[in-house]
Structure 1
């Protein structure tokens, strides 16, 4: 191998020499050479040993000492190895030398590390000592912090206790202040200069109210009842001062207004309306305006009973002064209306004037008592006496008024105009008059009901018809003639009515909107029942029947009953009334039994006790005028139908009746015989049933249909103008006539031959129906 320029140590030189010799004597394979080359490259970068560094020269060459030279020489000499043992020995020495060279730096490094470890141990010991001191310091700090926190908590507790004691002292002082105020308030209220005008009056009153409220709500405090009595005495004194002040101011205002009225009247009894309004209301408001603040304070405290009472007294004082001021004016004005105007105009004008006064008074009252003006009862001490003047003026004239029309007009004025329109339009301003107006209306209702009953009794129930009233059918005929006359006014629908019916319908229409439903129901039932009684029970129809014929009497009754039913139909009400009356009829028998000793008068356990014996029984009876009307109409119509039927087909019905009687007698005779050998004679062999006699019967009926029935229809047209009514009434008559012919034809078909039937001249049923229909 080629040598390198680097210096080598002695051991290396010896190794190199030995290796060269060994390579020459023992050649290596290529693989071995490659391995050696790799090792050489690996160790070529190793640092020089320390001993070698010391012998290096200045030029970069090592300075070789004599000892090393001798070693090199000796190594060179000893480089020749004879056997393996020598090699291993040499290798061991070489390895030991190399270890010695390579481990030196590590020993030095170990020494340094050991020195450093010792230093670190010393530092750790110092750190442990420091940490021990820090731990001791922390323990001391924790102890100090605990003591400090305990001190802080104690201070906080002391502060809380102090604050609690302060609050308790303040609360105690605030409670004691209410009791301490007694002396202060008492001294102030009893001061010589204390009055409502003093600026301290209202605050002291407010403080007094607070003290009373507090003492009332805490009765458990010592001597609270004593303090409450004293506080109330002071409050009563203060409220008495207020009442005296209000009365004084109101009287002063009234005096000023009266003086102004006298001055403006200039010798007249009453000033003009405009001047009167200006003085009585405007000047009074200006004169009494100083009361508004104190009255407002009283109203704001009206929730307390003491102030509610003084407020009520102030209302009364105000109303008394206002009444004293204006009562003469109102009374004189109503009296002037009463002298100049009739009752309806007096009612209308008086109510209008009273509403105007009430409106002005309410506005003035609202100026002084804004919170109390919504309660209409507050003005009652003023408005009730004023409205009584009108009531006292109207009532005597109402009592003497007997005209139903006038009374109905009064009801309309009060109910529609006054209560319905004016009172609703003005609202709460005149609500105080509602009770008086309703009282007047109730009196009118009472008078109207009384006059209505009198009218029913005198004009309807006890009506005495004249000859002209019962002049039927001539009254109807005159009406027909008048209607056929050109340019003749026929607007009076009552012309053909019976007078009681006309008065009944007129009275119903007048009372319907004027009376309460319960009152009107009783009067309406009485009206209708009285009208029916006049038509039926007082012989109006019988008188007409006697004078003009049975048919006229029946048609007269049917006509008026139909009119009455038609006229009462629009009234939405029941025409039934239940009457209750006391029945003492059983008392006589009970007294007889007691006198006989059969029962004891004092036996309270039995049903015949004294209380039960002398207790009357209540009997109830219900009268329905509408049902009575329907019943009477139905009965009259049935009577008329049967009368007309008998008028037309009576011969035919008599013949059928005789035939039925004969057949019944023959049937009884045949049943009494023991054999059927004896046969009855045929019907046509009877004297009354001969073909000629039957032909006479048929002819009489035909003559009645052709002659009498048209007269009947003419009468019906005269009395009953409605074709539908006539058709309804004529329908059962037609049915009866047709039925009589049918019965006769069945009888003839069974007893007579076809030639005999044809000779009788009986009309066919179809032709008969056509003939009857043509009469309508």
Structure 2
């Protein structure tokens, strides 16, 4: 029973959901479900048959005649019904017995399978253990084999460095063995590797001995490389110097433009062909020059030998070519500098390119070689620089060296033109030095010491003539015929004049370059030449000097014009040219301020005087020692002064304007100003001698009303007669309404102020109303009206003159006069002539 219970418990766990003994897959479960459906259908059919039989039996009810028969029938029927009601349970019981048998059979099969699986597992573990031990043994054998093989290879590698040296010596001693062969590179590699290995293992037996042998092999290989390369370079040099054509070396070394292609093939073709032969061998050295000092020395020797051969070829050729260029451009220095520098640029680029066809490692010797070639140019050009006197030529040469050579060539190829750039920079400094020297001489001789001619100081005649020319050109719009270069220049000048004087509001005749005073024109031309040629600090110093000299020359010219003509013309001349000078220096983007250092000895003088006063205390002790005080207090002080050229121009312009306003005021109301000054002096003397009295001035004979009235009438006449001429001069010189208004406003204020001061002087000094009537002093409003009327008269006179000039026909004599005058004021001819004269005069002193 116990076994059955256990069996039933296992059967219940057969397909338990949580812990099944034999888990069935979906296919097996579907088969079991199908079997259950078939069994249930068969049971249903059997039940239906039994029910039918039972109904058949029950339908046959026997005839019951008595109660005992009924009871017998009832008992029998009841037994039959009882049996029928238990059939279902009996069938189910039989079904369970069948299932139990099937489960027992299944369990037996499972037990059999489990026993077989246990046996298989036992056998698998045995086989697995044997296989693992076999694999471990095999791996150990393979590991030992590799270790032994590695040891064998290591032994062979180590022995190789000791066994191959004799073979290498034999190969290198073979006279037919060439460094260009592929085996040579293998020998070099073996030598380098063996030497490095022996250096890393100095403890090995006979390591030092074999290292010496390998060093001998290396020296032998290096000697072979050197001999091979030098032989090829010597051959190429020989082919260049002694070509097969049979011409002389001197003829072959002349590099000209006509045979540039042939010369290039001669000087570079042979070496380019030789580079293909030695490039591979040189690469072997370049790859190893950092590993061994012998390779580095060999590479340096190869560089030196190559450059020496190129120097033999190129030095005489470059020298000859530069001499040919000097002879070709003997009179044109700018063309000589441009051609020679361009030629050397091509030479440097070609030499740089050819060098790197042989080598790939940079060398300082290449720069030295290039410097040698450039020195030939410098030695040939230097004498020309020293003897150039013309500023324009020096300025153009500076532009060629800085812009065309440094900025265009050297900046775009700095490595190839490094030596050339250094040469050009040195040459540029020499030219700048010469330019500065010549500029100093030019500023002193042609600006500071300029001796003006009568035509230079012909003001205002020159301006009036130019204005009449401009007005005549407005009527006759036909330009002059250009017969030659000078007439062409005159036509341009005429057009310029016509454009500047179409109306009264146009520019002044003095605005034309040709009408500028020569020192102003030369100063601006000189500064424009120097601006882009010298460094800014140097330009600032030169500009300070040039503007200072120009201001002095303008002051001298203004004084001469004031002496010959009038102070108005002199000051207007100076004002106009100072305005031109200030306007023209504005575009220069430099600071015109310069710092100047000086020593102040004023305290030294005072200290020396005190030392003489304290001679008894020269050797006194303490702070009263006179000598010590002299040393402490008498030391000269260093002072710094800032010199600003623009402020100097503005300062001189202000002084000239103030002087012009003063002179114009004096011309118009001079008698009134003189009377006021005399009256003030009289009042000062009277107040100093006795108590002040208001009747002192009234009682003076020359200050009576009858004497004052002529002064006033004369001033009014001057305003009416001279104001128009002053305004006409301002229009002629300045021709700018704004500038004219700025200058005329203080003149107008001074005139009105003079009348007001006179009126105040008379009123404060007890002049009666009858005296004021006799004096006929106008009020400020009346004076203003008089000034305005005089200004309108000046404008109407100018318009009348302009219309009269337009109505006149130009005669042949006036045209000839105009042309000759334009020739005189042409800026190009004037500048060139003045600079050339200055160069010729000072060439001996340079």
Is the shorter-chain TM-score for this pair beyond 0.5, marking a shared fold? yes
Task: Please give the secondary structure, in 2, of the residue aligned with 1:200.
Answer: helix
Which residue, out of 170, 186, 200, partners 1:203?
186
Change in 2 beyond 3 A, CA 1:174/1:378 = farther
The answer on whether the counterparts of 1:261 and 1:279 sit within 8 Å (CA) in structure 2 is no
1:132-211 matches, cutoff 5 A: 133-134=115-116, 136-148=118-130, 150-151=132-133, 154-155=136-137, 158=140, 161-162=143-144, 165=147, 169=151, 172=154, 176=158, 179=161, 183=165, 186-187=168-169, 190-193=172-175, 194-209=177-192
Change in 2 beyond 3 A, CA 1:353/1:166 = same
Post-superposition offset of 1:125: 8.3
Post-superposition offset of 1:445: 1.3
The answer on whether the counterparts of 2:242 and 2:249 sit within 8 Å (CA) in structure 1 is no
Which residue, out of 408, 426, 440, partners 1:439?
426
Question: What does the per-residue CA deviation read over 1:483-514, in whole Å, with 9 as the maximum and x for residues that have no partner?
Answer: 64788967795666554434322311222222
Change in 2 beyond 3 A, CA 1:702/1:581 = closer
Measure, in 1, the Cα distance between the counterparts of 2:409 and 2:751: 66
Which residue, out of 555, 579, 595, partners 1:562?
579
Question: What does the per-residue CA deviation read over 1:426-472, in whole Å, with 9 as the maximum and x for residues that have no partner?
Answer: 897666533322322221112111222232234434x1636748x74
Which residue, out of 320, 341, 344, partners 2:308?
320
Which residue, out of 237, 242, 265, partners 1:259?
242
Question: What does the per-residue CA deviation read over 1:539-594, in whole Å, with 9 as the maximum and x for residues that have no partner?
Answer: 5544554555544543443343333223322322221112346789999989x999
Measure, in 2, the Cα distance between the counterparts of 1:400 and 1:270: 29
Measure, in 1, the Cα distance between the counterparts of 2:515 and 2:393: 27
Name the residue aligned to 1:61: none
Change in 2 beyond 3 A, CA 1:382/1:481 = same
Which residue, out of 703, 719, 727, partners 1:705?
719
Post-superposition offset of 1:360: 3.8
Measure, in 2, the Cα distance between the counterparts of 1:699 and 1:439: 74
1:192-341 matches, cutoff 5 A: 192-193=174-175, 194-209=177-192, 235=218, 237-260=220-243, 263-265=246-248, 270=253, 273=256, 274=259, 275-287=262-274, 289-299=276-286, 310-340=298-328, 341=330
Measure, in 2, the Cα distance between the counterparts of 1:513 and 1:626: 19
Name the residue aligned to 2:667: 647
Larger Rg: 1
Change in 2 beyond 3 A, CA 1:150/1:736 = same
Name the residue aligned to 2:385: 398
Measure, in 2, the Cα distance between the counterparts of 1:484 and 1:614: 67
Name the residue aligned to 2:461: 477
1:40-79 matches, cutoff 5 A: 42-44=54-56
Task: Please give the secondary structure, in 2, of the residue aligned with 1:623.
Answer: strand
Post-superposition offset of 1:516: 2.6
Name the residue aligned to 1:508: 527
Change in 2 beyond 3 A, CA 1:305/1:714 = farther
Question: What does the per-residue CA deviation read over 1:34-58, in whole Å, with 9 as the maximum and x for residues that have no partner?
Answer: xxxx99973426999xxxxxxxxxx
Question: What does the per-residue CA deviation read over 1:329-366, in whole Å, with 9 as the maximum and x for residues that have no partner?
Answer: 22122223334523334323322332343344344334
Measure, in 1, the Cα distance between the counterparts of 2:158 and 2:85: 107
The answer on whether the counterparts of 2:706 and 2:774 sit within 8 Å (CA) in structure 1 is no
The answer on whether the counterparts of 1:407 and 1:444 sit within 8 Å (CA) in structure 2 is yes
Change in 2 beyond 3 A, CA 1:99/1:465 = closer
Change in 2 beyond 3 A, CA 1:613/1:314 = farther
Task: Please give the secondary structure, in 1, of the residue aligned with 2:242.
Answer: helix
Change in 2 beyond 3 A, CA 1:543/1:223 = farther
- Greater CA deviation, 101-110 or 564-573? 101-110
Measure, in 1, the Cα distance between the counterparts of 2:116 and 2:423: 105
Measure, in 1, the Cα distance between the counterparts of 2:198 and 2:523: 75
Task: Please give the secondary structure, in 1, of the residue aligned with 2:542.
Answer: helix
Stretches of structure 1 lacking an aligned partner (at least 5 in a row) = 1-37, 49-74, 601-606, 674-678
Change in 2 beyond 3 A, CA 1:364/1:103 = closer
Name the residue aligned to 2:398: 411
Measure, in 1, the Cα distance between the counterparts of 2:706 and 2:224: 123
Measure, in 2, the Cα distance between the counterparts of 1:115 and 1:565: 135
Change in 2 beyond 3 A, CA 1:260/1:40 = closer
Which residue, out of 752, 763, 766, partners 1:738?
752
Post-superposition offset of 1:530: 2.6
Change in 2 beyond 3 A, CA 1:629/1:710 = same
Per the normalisation by structure 2, the TM-score is: 0.65
Question: What does the per-residue CA deviation read over 1:267-303, in whole Å, with 9 as the maximum and x for residues that have no partner?
Answer: 9575685344332222343355421332344456677
Change in 2 beyond 3 A, CA 1:680/1:301 = same
Measure, in 1, the Cα distance between the counterparts of 2:695 and 2:201: 124
Post-superposition offset of 1:260: 0.7
User: Aligned pair count?
Assistant: 684
Post-superposition offset of 1:699: 0.5
Change in 2 beyond 3 A, CA 1:737/1:196 = same
The answer to whether 1:770 aligns with 2:788 is yes
The answer to whether 1:630 aligns with 2:616 is no
Measure, in 2, the Cα distance between the counterparts of 1:120 and 1:554: 145
The answer to whether 1:576 aligns with 2:593 is yes
The answer to whether 1:450 aligns with 2:437 is yes
Change in 2 beyond 3 A, CA 1:386/1:106 = closer
- Name which structure has the greater RCO, CA cutoff 8 Å, separation 6+: 2
Which residue, out of 350, 358, 361, partners 1:368?
358
Post-superposition offset of 1:419: 4.3
Measure, in 1, the Cα distance between the counterparts of 2:78 and 2:462: 180
Change in 2 beyond 3 A, CA 1:223/1:391 = farther
Post-superposition offset of 1:760: 1.3
Change in 2 beyond 3 A, CA 1:110/1:384 = closer
Question: What does the per-residue CA deviation read over 1:2-23, in whole Å, with 9 as the maximum and x for residues that have no partner?
Answer: xxxxxxxxxxxxxxxxxxxxxx
Measure, in 1, the Cα distance between the counterparts of 2:220 and 2:603: 70
The answer on whether the counterparts of 1:316 and 1:381 sit within 8 Å (CA) in structure 2 is no
The answer to whether 1:387 aligns with 2:374 is yes
1:10-29 matches, cutoff 5 A: none
Per the normalisation by structure 1, the TM-score is: 0.71
Measure, in 2, the Cα distance between the counterparts of 1:241 and 1:714: 97
